Structure 1
Amino acid sequence: MTELTERTSSTEPRPRHRTAASGLVLAIVLTCQLMLMLDATVMNVALPRIQSDLGFSATGLSWVMTSYSLVFGGLLLLGGRAGDLFGRRRMFVLGTAVFTLASLAGGLSTSAGFLIAARVAQGVGAAMAGPSTIALITTTFTEAKARVRALSLFSAVASGGFAIGLIVGGLLTEWISWRAALFINVPFGLAIAVLAPRFVPAPPPRSAHLDVPGAVLGTLGVASLVLAFTQAASDGWGAPLTLAALAAGVVLLIAFVLLERRVAHPLVPLWLFAERNRAAAYASFFLGPMAMMSMFFFLTQFLQDVRHFAALATGFAFLPMAASIFTLSRLMPRLLARFGPKPLAVTGTVLMVSGVAWLSMLTPDSGYVAALLGPLLLMGVGGGLAFSPLNVIIMSTVPAEDAGAAGGVLQTMQQVGSTLGLGILVTVFGAATRSAAASGATGTPLLVDGMTAAFLAASGLAALTVGVALTFRRGKAATV
């Protein structure tokens, strides 16, 4: 990373001035990214009211969350390559428009099926726009310092957006309606779609072909694995559908990897994983969200169903975590230049593991200040240290023409990791509650037993990120 960024900063012309237009470009792109990240969690605190209004079953309610993240993550690779080939700004604007219309439709939903369909359409739009957000930052901010600062802000939005989504969702659900959590996307989406063609520069597209077979195999493979874990949570690992979905997912993903090795223009250029720091960054973006999303999902339920927090209070409970992540993002350019990625990643992942493990000790009587504030701060600081440098590591070491593919892989790791991790931990939750019920537990203690088991499993997943962090090369980044 150091050699490439030094070479980049010496060979690429520095901008003559930091124009207001550059700041506006960053504002447009980050607003879009924040909007996409918010919708992964903004519905969490509204789930009880959505279930009541639209008649969702207890098992079907999770698809309000999963349908968006699954489609978003499954199509990101195709969206990233499409941006490289057809124009990143074009895909950015088109994806934002699709996402905005789907948000409007979701807010007008009159049935459970209609809302799920709208969430799927949101995922399609997000997958079209998402990879181009980070690629447009990389190609717009060519000067090394400006690029690192922009990517650090992008990291803060990508990591902190999940927590902010809970806060926004709580505000809107409590003050207006759960539908407002979808309607709020409309004015921002329209503003982005209008301003982007005027102010965001359009890198030239490349002449190549889309890897549609690869997109089909990759998306179906991930969807099959998520279905397997979801079914295991309710029916057990011996159920025919669980076993069939698991086998299909493994076979499809193996076929996907084999195909990507042979096609001329793969969705996932395998050379992206050849450089050690970049491969470790991708692995961290996969493993970290596996643990983080369980925290959002189960802790939201703990606050509302066990501690009886209102939607607004539940959202604000995550404010310390969001504030920690954004504070670290502002310091990241200096920290990365001084220490390099390895010490930051190791320290951050250890703090994150400590925070999740702390949550595994919750009881039905646990209070916010005594039992939740500490873990949330640890995960906020840990997540800020561990994940903020990763965008810089990845995007500073790829050619500009492959920025869309690299960004698509990055966000795919994040989305698929969070979706698959939630499937795994819901399975753990289901097994733990069945075991506790067999021992005579009922009501709130039964629910908390399942949650603490899920948090303990999540701490094991988070511990894997510590091992990955140890593989980063030593050395300071020469980007700032």
Structure 2
Amino acid sequence: MVSDQSIPGAKASRVLLTLLCLAQFMLILDVAVVAVAVPSMQSQLDISAANIQWVSTAYGLAFGGFLVAAGRAADLFGPKRILLAGLAIFTIASGLCGLAPNEVVLFAARALQGFGAALVSPAALTLVTTSFGEGEERNKALGLWGAVSSGGAIAGQLLGGVLADVAGWRSIFLINVPIGIIVIIAVARQVRKDPDRATGRIDMAGAGLLTAGVVLLVTAVSQAADHGVSPAVLVSGALGVAMLVGFVVQEGRIDNPVVRLSMFRNPNVRYGNMICMLTAGGATVSVFLSTLYMQQVIGLSPMMAGIGFAPVTVLILGVSMKMGPLVAKFGARGLLLVSAVLFAVGSVLLSFVTVDGSYWTQVFPGLAIGGVGAALSFAPSMILCTTGVPDEEQGLASGLLGTSQQIGAALFLAILSGVAAAAAAGAGGDTPEALTEGFRAGFLWSLAIPVLIAVCVLAVPKQEPKTAEPLAADEEAGQSV
């Protein structure tokens, strides 16, 4: 990707950033919007407790599994082409979700939705990173991008609750259809035409191995939590590991891999992606378990549970909008350490939920503090992942960080929702008391996430690569965050 993709002029850049953030908001919203409506879907389509997580996981895995290939496609074929294709697929799949007659169709449509989102996200982020130079301008742009990402995740709870109560759970998908059409028209008109370029082949074998490996591993983790370590679980886990080993071998032996393994010589890319995976996982688990606690234990309706996220959304957006100045003053590493501490405090507070608890005393404090932690983490982690990466590799870098976020969300949701389900089963099943024990266990085990975040942050060097050479090069230099 080269810098001539940028739209010249400050006004045009603002228009471009606003439009791309709108597309990203729609994708992130759809990750979270289903959580509040899960009980309604489960009841109407008669989905089992073991399978209901696939409403979120199918989307997250398809999104995360194809992001890297989509990012590489944006580098090779142009981000506008990939962006429009992704928006069209996402919009069609949203309509299929809203019309799904059973769980099989719903899960398949959610996976197709995730594939469309995988095409959109790295193409949009590539346009952002190549339209603003490294440093203060890019940090401000990524701060707004982070605000949209974190705000969209929480706003999804509010919108999902309202729509599920007023118009039914199908409306949370069908509303994407007119919005998607509007965004497609705006992108076609406002985003500059892709420049002519030489194209290459996408390593679809590598992309397939990566996606299959992650799907099999998450399946093994979730089924082990629900049913114990059975032969099927062992086979699924072993096949997942084999697929990922095959992916690494595949990427090392071909000339045009979907992931350039040498990219991970850049410590910012290496540790930044690990931090993206962990922070996305922590935020997703907190929101998911809190939503279920509010509805299944303290008896809030989907609408009231969704409205409960409104003050948290406002708080997160307020913090996220200040990320540019905060990064300039404290640095990405400092903000990420503070984020880890706030994540931990929020998880501890949420672990004190009780059967007779209330939203304001036992849910809001933990969600608010953890939400601020999320707001402080998104932009700095994205800055790490894209610092020192040349323009022609920004699509790949964008796909990698998006993959890390989506796989982290899906993987930690599978693990910790399984922990909560196992703890609830051990405490007596589906009574409010047993469910509360499960949620406590899930929140407590999530404390491992901020600990790992802190370890990764401390491993990030204070000086970062600033080379503009392709990432296949061995040379590394230093540049401050």
Q: Same fold (TM over 0.5)?
A: yes
- Corresponding residue SS for 1:187: helix
Which range moved further: 192-201 or 107-116?
A: 107-116
Could you say which residue in structure 2 is the equivalent of 1:307? 298
Query: What do residues 125-162 of structure 1 show as CA deviations (whole Å, max 9, x unaligned)?
Result: 11111111110111223475432222111112222322
After TM superposition, the structure 1 = structure 2 runs for residues 168-247 of structure 1, keeping only pairs within 5 Å, are: 168-204=159-195, 205-237=197-229, 239-247=230-238
Could you say which residue in structure 2 is the equivalent of 1:68? 59
CA separation of 1:219 and 1:112: change in aligned 2, threshold 3 A: same
> Offset at 1:400?
0.9
After TM superposition, the structure 1 = structure 2 runs for residues 375-386 of structure 1, keeping only pairs within 5 Å, are: 375-386=366-377
Which range moved further: 141-150 or 387-396?
A: 141-150
Which range moved further: 421-430 or 320-329?
A: 320-329
CA separation of 1:206 and 1:316: change in aligned 2, threshold 3 A: farther
State how far apart, in whole Å, the 2-side matches of 1:159 and 1:202 are: 30
Matched-pair contact (CA < 8 Å) for 2:83–2:124:
yes
State how far apart, in whole Å, the 1-side matches of 2:151 and 2:407 are: 17
Could you say which residue in structure 1 is the equivalent of 2:457? 469
Whether 1:394 aligns to 2:382 is no
> Offset at 1:416?
0.3
Q: Which amino acid aligns with 2:220?
A: A
After TM superposition, the structure 1 = structure 2 runs for residues 2-401 of structure 1, keeping only pairs within 5 Å, are: 17-19=9-11, 21-142=12-133, 144-204=135-195, 205-237=197-229, 239-401=230-392
Query: What do residues 242-282 of structure 1 show as CA deviations (whole Å, max 9, x unaligned)?
Result: 11111111121122122222222222222332222332211
Which range moved further: 76-85 or 108-117?
A: 108-117
State how far apart, in whole Å, the 2-side matches of 1:347 and 1:275 are: 24
> Offset at 1:54?
2.2
Q: Which amino acid aligns with 2:320?
A: S
Query: What do residues 333-354 of structure 1 show as CA deviations (whole Å, max 9, x unaligned)?
Result: 1111112112111111111111
State how far apart, in whole Å, the 2-side matches of 1:137 and 1:161 are: 18
CA separation of 1:442 and 1:401: change in aligned 2, threshold 3 A: closer
Match 1:457 to one of 445, 448, 454: 445
Which range moved further: 319-328 or 42-51?
A: 319-328
Identify unmatched segments of 5+ residues in structure 1: 1-7
> Offset at 1:396?
3.6
| CA RMSD across the alignment | 2.4
TM-score by length of 1: 0.92
State how far apart, in whole Å, the 2-side matches of 1:13 and 1:86 are: 12
Matched-pair contact (CA < 8 Å) for 2:81–2:194:
no
Query: What do residues 391-446 of structure 1 show as CA deviations (whole Å, max 9, x unaligned)?
Result: 22222421111111110000000000110111111221233123223xxx761111
CA separation of 1:17 and 1:89: change in aligned 2, threshold 3 A: closer
State how far apart, in whole Å, the 1-side matches of 2:319 and 2:261 are: 31
- Corresponding residue SS for 1:207: coil
> Offset at 1:78?
1.3
Could you say which residue in structure 2 is the equivalent of 1:403? 394
Aligned residues: 466
TM-score by length of 2: 0.91
- Corresponding residue SS for 1:79: helix
> Offset at 1:479?
9.5
Whether 1:431 aligns to 2:422 is yes
Which range moved further: 143-152 or 408-417?
A: 143-152
State how far apart, in whole Å, the 2-side matches of 1:33 and 1:281 are: 20
State how far apart, in whole Å, the 1-side matches of 2:80 and 2:16 are: 11
Matched-pair contact (CA < 8 Å) for 2:6–2:131:
no
Q: Which amino acid aligns with 2:204?
A: V
> Offset at 1:475?
7.1
> Offset at 1:324?
2.6
- Corresponding residue SS for 1:42: helix
